[in-house]
Amino acid sequence: MLKKIKDYLVGAVQEAKKVVWPNKKQIKSYTILVIAMSVGVAVFFAVLDYIFNIGLGTLIK
């Protein structure tokens, strides 16, 4: 049982050493992209909500 745990941990450490981490420039550009996409999606749903609100308000009156 302990051998299996040890083998698992050794394998996990070996795989972690293979990871290629992004550099500072990539992190900055990906962060800006995520923020821009989040704002874009939020604006899209806000406009959609506004349109549905007007449409349903017209139907109810």
47 and 54 in contact (C-beta within 8 Å)? Answer: no
Share the mean pLDDT of the chain: 95
Residue 23: pLDDT above 90?
yes
Mean pLDDT of 18-27: 95
- Which band of pLDDT confidence, cut at 50, 70 and 90, is reported for residue 11? very high
Single pTM value for the model: 0.64
Q: Bin 22: left if φ > 0, else alpha if -120 < ψ < 50, else beta.
A: beta
Question: What pLDDT is stored for residue 19 in this prediction?
Answer: 93
The tens digit of pLDDT for each residue in 29-52 reads: 999 999 999 999 999 999 999 999
